[in-house]
Chain A
Amino acid sequence: MDIILAQASFVFIQALGGLASAASLFLVASGLSIIFGVTRITNFAHGAFYMLGAYVAFTLTDRFGGAFGFWGSLLLAALIVAALGALMEMALLRRIYHVPELFQLLATFGVTLMVQDLVVMAWGPDDLMGPRAPGFRGAVEILGHRVPSYDFLLMALGPAVLGLLWLLFHRTRWGVLVRAATQDRDMVAALGVNQKWLFTSVFALGIFLAALGGALQIPRTTVTHGMDLSILVEAFVVVVIGGLGSVTGAFLAAVLVSELNAFGILLLPKISLVLVFLVMAVVLVLRPWGLLGKPFTAARQAAGISVRPWQPFSPAERALAAGAILAASALPFLVGDYGLTVGSEICIFVLFAASLHFIMTVGGLDSFGHAAYFGLGAYGAAFLTVLAGLPMEAALIAGPLLALAGAALFGWFSVRLSGVYFAMLTLAFAQITWSIAFQWVEVTGGDNGMLGVWPADWAAGARGFYWLSLGVAVAGVAALRALVFSPFGYALRAARDSALRAEAIGLDRARLQWLAFIVAGTFAGLAGALQAFLKGSVFPDFLGIPVSVDGLVMVLLGGVETVSGAVAGAVVYKALAIWLMSRTDLSRLVLGSAIVAIVLLFPRGIVGFVEDARDRYLPALLRGRGRSSGRETAP
């Protein structure tokens, strides 16, 4: 009896802790949700602003003591950061609302990178310990357990903010406009509402909530420069479970996720990391728009719809591509071993980016979890060499089959969704795969990875391996390119361009996209298998979010409206990242600035920019008549 009572009280205390954590998560997620609802921007920098909120609050509370100083500092910190957010919206995002949606994600990702280095520059690399909240320093004893009194404040704060937001959205003119814009922003614009300021103010409110969420954390936890990404992923999960654009949904989901985190570690330690993503996957499969979300009307064209039809290479372009491949294969005569290792890695990521590009542009599906198939291919190859003792050649062919199987399983569920929900479900599946690799230590070695994945003798040297990687990358990209122009590629693109018309000519959209997902996953797996042999080892990192994000950045840099832009994007991004890493301590700041600059200068990606220039000037030069490229120029 006593044991049951003790357990019941323990469960109760855990639940209280979960509720307290839910408050900050709710603030961050509701901000993200509001911003997405109105501006359709997937704000990757949201976590960065949350972190900035905590850092600024730390500095301010350090300076202004006393109860008034403390609480005033938290509020002031959130206001300052909200002003910074509004500034970013005006200076950066306003210029790129007309380009394909994911470019805004790329721009905010660039800002995230910059903030990471800026924070280290301003506040140093060490974790910071904030002051306790005046009046809430102690703990309350409940059922024999001590619960910090500050937790009770947070528990009350969540519903209070929810109530205030409800009043704001239902009782003010501004709030009505925000809700209207969430439902149909084109209609709101047509009614003469100044969209610019509506967007900016919504953005500022969203960032304010994120920064307040961060500031409120300082009495509870240390302030670190890794807190941006951890909260970001959780906030995305919350927003998606709750339903995009729904504040109440975000509240429910924040409580759900926090409680899952609080209990998962106790009840199901084996799958604690994956529990939240499992729940998200289940919610999305059962309720594709989240708990309280509604399906969005597609306000804008899907990314990738271009007036310029895709065409196979002309003879001149073919010669150019052949020349580039020839030049690349001559690299071993020009650079040393280090250069060749870098070159091999670039080749591998060219193939990875090309496979993501295929599903994103031809399939019209933005996968945020493509690393899953890269990693599965790598683990597949590692299992075969380390556990089964197969040679490299066999592992390179059979390893990607694990990626194929994973893509077949996850893709079957994912292609039933579209847009951001598709992106989030793919992210969830990638995280699930990651946690399996991380927590199933007996098979995968967990965090220690699998070592001893050595290539065959002929490929053991830097030269041999470089040629192998180049050969596989060229063959893979060529195969993907051929697929784009095959009947399957056309049918897939047809389903992307107009689902309505595609159905009316007998095309099965879900099956086409499922097959495309499997194809893309398999090629990513091939890249992953190569990476395993390049590194000689495999780690859970191969499956991590940063790898997926790298792939996205490469595709977007290259240009989503092109057939093979990912190749250029991968070369530029990977070379830039590796080179910067070796040159400067502030690689993230420089890389982030470079990404932001590229987004502003080449909003259609590098290859898209080249094609624009070619279509605008080349015909006039060659044929002496100006053939209009038929596209509007950006205002």
Chain B
Amino acid sequence: MSALLQAEGLSKSFGGVEAVRGVSFELDAGRILAMIGPNGAGKSTCFNMLNGQITPDAGRVRLGGIDITGLGPAAVWRLGVGRTFQITATFASMKVRENVQVALLSFRRRAFSFRGFAGAACRGEADRLLALTGLADQADRPCGELAYGDLKRLELAVALANNPRLLLMDEPTAGMAARERAALMRLAAAVAREKNVAVLFTEHDMDVVFEHADAVMVLDRGERIAFGTPQEVRRDPRVRAVYLGEGFLYDARHREEKPA
């Protein structure tokens, strides 16, 4: 059986900058893969190529064996890919519940329906998703006044609205307090395992990464430099070099020579 998500030799450059160079990986259903790397490593570009927001210059993306390279985000979503954004993107003029209801209406192909009151549509399902993400008591609040951490949860609830096979989470916990981060990722991981959803997420918090990821992929300057279990990656000398520096340029000796 082939993997749910297969990326082969993905490449993308912007002007002269090669943001992503020949990145390949596979992800099975029900598995959680963390994509880590320093700022500018190409993580977000990779994400945007996977859900169709950016068309890769080269390479293929397959979902469940079907080639989805070059499809737009809307089409990719229809095939069962949910996504959260690094900077939250929600509908500010709606209530929290209505944000989820719109996603549900779109999933049921009712976005072009002129009849009925959307605020009453799919209410039970929306409330179930909100309860799942811990937003049940906020359902009637205006989305625009939510705290940032709650917006991140709302993004997750919206991303789950199409019963995704694959969940892409770009820095799902950025901007949240430490305890909230752990809770949100635990929630996402529990959902993923329960419903056999594959999860790909980027994250800067290593505690979150090593607690939940089944596998870790490390990018640096657009290239995949390591892939393996969290333990393997932790021991990888190239990963250590990228994250801690190789000590070629500066070390403790320089402190003495040039006072700041």
The residues of A with any CB-CB pair to B shorter than 8 Å are 304-312, 483, 485-491, 493-494, 496-498, 500-501, 503-508, 511-512, 515, 630
Is the pair A507, B119 in contact by a Cβ cutoff of 8 Å?
A: no
Name B78-106 residues within 8 Å CB distance of A.
78, 83, 85, 89-95, 98, 101-103, 105-106
Q: B106: which of A309, A312, A505 is its contact (CB, 8 Å)?
A: A505
- Judging by beta carbons under 8 Å apart, are A504 and B90 in contact? no
**Complex CA distance for A485 and B112, rounded to whole angstroms:** 12
| Pair count A-B, CB < 8 A | 124
Interface flag for B144 (CB, 8 Å) = yes
Q: B93 touching A487 by the CB < 8 A rule?
A: no
Partner of B118, one of A307, A485, A630: A485
Given contacts A490-B102, A494-B102, A508-B111, 5 further A-B contacts (CB under 8 A): A309-B95, A488-B111, A491-B111, A494-B91, A506-B75
Given contacts A309-B94, A506-B106, contact A501 B145 (CB under 8 A): no
CA distance A573 to B65 in the complex (A): 61
Interface positions of B from 45 to 103, Cβ below 8 Å from A: 51, 53, 72-75, 77-78, 83, 85, 89-95, 98, 101-103
Which 9 A-B residue pairs are closest in the complex by CB-CB distance? Answer: A501-B89, A491-B111, A307-B144, A490-B118, A497-B91, A506-B77, A503-B73, A505-B103, A630-B145
Chain A residues lying within 8 Å of B144, measured Cβ to Cβ, are: 305-307, 630
- Given A307-B144, A487-B118: A493 and B111 within 8 A (CB)? no
Q: Are B158 and A307 neighbours in the complex by a CB distance under 8 Å? A: no
Contacts of A630 in B (CB 8 A): 142, 144-145
Question: In the complex the two chains form, is B112's CB within 8 Å of A504's CB?
Answer: no
Q: B159 to chain A: which residues have CB within 8 Å?
A: 504
Cβ A486 vs Cβ B93 within 8 A? no
B148 in the interface (beta carbon within 8 A): no
Judged by a CB distance under 8 angstroms, whether B2 is at the interface is no
Q: In the complex, A496→B101 CA distance in Å?
A: 16
Distance A503 CA – B82 CA, assembled complex (angstroms): 11
Q: Is the CB of A485 within 8 A of B117?
A: yes
Residues of B within 8 A of A491 (CB): 102, 105-106, 111-112
- Separation of A312 and B111 alpha carbons in the complex (Å): 19
Q: Are A498 and B91 within 8 A (Cβ)?
A: yes
- C-beta contact mask, B106-117 vs A, less than 8 Å → 1, else 0? 110011111111
| The residue from B75, B95, B113 contacting A487, defined by CB atoms under 8 A apart | B113
Q: From residue B116, how far is it (CB to closest CB) to chain A in Å? A: 6
In the assembled complex, how far is the CB of residue A436 from the closest CB belonging to chain B, in whole angstroms?
31
CB distance from B94 to the nearest CB of A (A): 5
| B11 CB–A CB distance under 8 Å | no
The answer to whether the Cβ of B215 comes within 8 Å of any Cβ in the partner chain is no
Taking the complex as formed, is B131 at the interface, i.e. its CB lies under 8 A from any CB of chain A? no
Q: Report how far A361 CA is from B168 CA in the complex, Å.
A: 32
A305, B77: Cα distance in complex, Å: 25
Interchain CB contact under 8 A, A504 and B51:
yes
Q: Which B residues lie within 8 Å of A498 (CB)?
A: 89-92
- Among A311, A483, A498, A512, chain B packs the most CB atoms within 10 A around the CB of A498
A475 to chain B, nearest CB (A): 15
Smallest CB–CB gap between B242 and chain A, Å? 30
B114: which of A306, A309, A483, A504 is its contact (CB, 8 Å)? A483
Write the B186-219 contact mask toward A (1 if CB under 8 angstroms, else 0). 0000000000000000000000000000000000
* B161/A505 in contact, CB under 8 A: yes
A616 to nearest B CB, angstroms? 15
**Please, could you name 18 A-B residue pairs with CB atoms under 8 Å apart, sorted by A?**
A307-B145, A312-B119, A485-B119, A486-B114, A488-B113, A490-B94, A497-B92, A503-B72, A503-B73, A504-B73, A504-B74, A504-B83, A504-B159, A505-B103, A505-B161, A506-B111, A511-B112, A630-B142
Q: Can you list, as one digit per residue, whether each of B142-163 has a CB less than 8 Å from chain A (1) or not (0)?
A: 1111000000000000110110
Report B56 CB to chain A, min CB distance, Å.
18
Closest-by-CB residue of B relative to A512 is B111
Q: Which residues of B contact A (CB under 8 A)?
A: 51, 53, 72-75, 77-78, 83, 85, 89-95, 98, 101-103, 105-107, 110-119, 121, 142-145, 158-159, 161-162
CA distance A625 to B112 in the complex (A): 40
Contact B89 A504 (CB under 8 A): yes
Partner of B158, one of A306, A308, A487, A505: A505
CA A489 to CA B103, docked complex, whole Å: 13
State A506–B78 Cα separation when bound (angstroms): 6
- B145 contacts which chain A residues (CB < 8 A)? 307, 630
Chain A residues near B72 (CB-CB < 8 A): 503
Contact A309/B143 with A491-B106, A498-B89 known, Cβ cut-off 8 Å? yes
Contact B142 A307 (CB under 8 A): yes
B105–A309 CB distance below 8 A: no
Complex Cα–Cα for A496 and B90 (A): 11
B91 touches A501 (CB 8 A): yes
Closest to B113 in A: A487
Partner of B142, one of A309, A507, A511: A309
The docked-state distance in angstroms from the alpha carbon of A111 to that of B3 is 65
**Chain B nearest CB: distance from A187 CB in Å?**
17
CB <8 Å contact, A488 and B94: no
Residue of B75, B93, B112, B117 touching A304 (CB-CB under 8 A) = B93
Q: Select which of A483, A493, A501 is within 8 A of B85 by beta carbon.
A: A501
Question: Which residue of B74, B93, B143 contacts A506 across the interface (Cβ within 8 Å)?
Answer: B74
Contact A506 B107 (CB under 8 A): yes
Chain A residues whose CB sits within 8 angstroms of the CB of B98 once the complex forms: 309, 490
* Complex: A483 Cα to B158 Cα, angstroms: 23
Residues of A within 8 Å of B85, CB to CB, are 500-501, 504
From B103, which residue of chain A is reached at the shortest CB distance? Answer: A505
**A505 to B117, Cβ gap below 8 A?**
no
Residues of A within 8 A of B90 (CB): 497-498, 501
